[in-house]
């Protein structure tokens, strides 16, 4: 079953529904975050709560994790994307991805379960990047 852009879903993989947003600094690098106790850097966001629209998930998660108040009108949908989960072996993430219209002048202070924030050039193949970030979203942003 394809339906979403990215890897094909394996019938044995559990699915995690998330929303994530690409946010840029003045140099055009994308913000990524790493959760406490994990190694992978990924776009800020999180799991959808019951009955929650992806854009509302994104606004809630960004507020909780980075202390920023994103406006729904500033979030451009990039699509529904799929990739192997970075931190949950045997799982696949299905992601409603967005791009934020604003510009970050510095890395926001991290809060909640986020331990570290880091900017990466779009297209980076750094091994510490989550598969969704490195293998699906970056190629999409580059038009590949």
Query: Domain-by-domain residue ranges, the chain?
Result: 15-143
Spatial distance between the Cα atoms of 96 and 54, rounded to a whole number of angstroms: 6
Residue with tokens 């094909």: 8
Give the span between the Cα atoms of 18 and 46, in whole angstroms.
5
Write out pLDDT tens, residues 21-80.
Answer: 999 999 999 999 999 999 999 999 999 999 999 999 999 999 999 999 999 999 999 999
* pLDDT exceeds 70 at position 1: no
Q: 15-143, what's its fold? A: Nucleoside Triphosphate Pyrophosphohydrolase (3.90.79)
pTM of the model: 0.90
């Amino acid at each position: 079953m394809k339906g979403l852009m990215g890897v094909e879903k394996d019938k044995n993989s559990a699915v995690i529904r998330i929303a994530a947003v690409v946010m840029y600094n003045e140099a055009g690098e994308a913000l990524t975050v790493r959760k406490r106790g994990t190694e992978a850097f990924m776009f800020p966001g999180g799991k959808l709560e019951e009955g929650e629209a992806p854009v509302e998930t994104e606004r809630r998660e960004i507020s909780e994790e980075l202390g920023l108040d994103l406006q729904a009108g500033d979030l451009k949908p990039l699509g529904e994307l799929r990739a192997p989960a970075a931190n949950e072996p045997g799982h696949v993430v299905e992601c409603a991805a967005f791009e934020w219209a604003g510009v970050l002048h510095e890395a926001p202070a991290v809060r909640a379960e986020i331990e570290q924030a880091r900017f990466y050039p779009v297209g980076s193949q750094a091994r510490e990047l989550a598969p969704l970030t490195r293998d699906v979203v970056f190629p999409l942003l580059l038009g590949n």
